[in-house]
Amino acid sequence: MAKTTDPVSAPAGATYSWCDWHKGPSGTAVLVDVIEQGSGPGVTRYACAPCREQRGLVPFSEQQP
């Protein structure tokens, strides 16, 4: 019996993220803010491209300390 490699059928295409600014799914949302809390895990916030443009948000990965 030949065991074929299982083609894991991942849904091709965009993986949608959530935009915390317009409160909806977005294909362009990136992490822009991490709110550290005293206890428990920090809160992460994602914004999509249009929201980042409107609000002048900078992606977390591009922010300089």
DSSP letters for 22-59: TTEEESS-EEEEEE--SSSPPEEEEE-HHHHHHHT---
**Residue of the chain from 17, 18, 22, 45 that contacts Zn ion (CB under 5 A):** 22
Q: Write out the two tokens for 29.
A: 């949302």
Q: Determine the interface stretch with Zn ion among 4-12, 32-40, 49-57 (rule: CB under 5 A).
A: 49-57
| Of positions 19, 30, 32, 57, contacts Zn ion by CB under 5 A | 19
Stretch binding Zn ion (CB under 5 A), from 4-12, 13-21, 32-40, 57-65: 13-21
> Per CB under 5 A, does 51 bind Zn ion?
yes
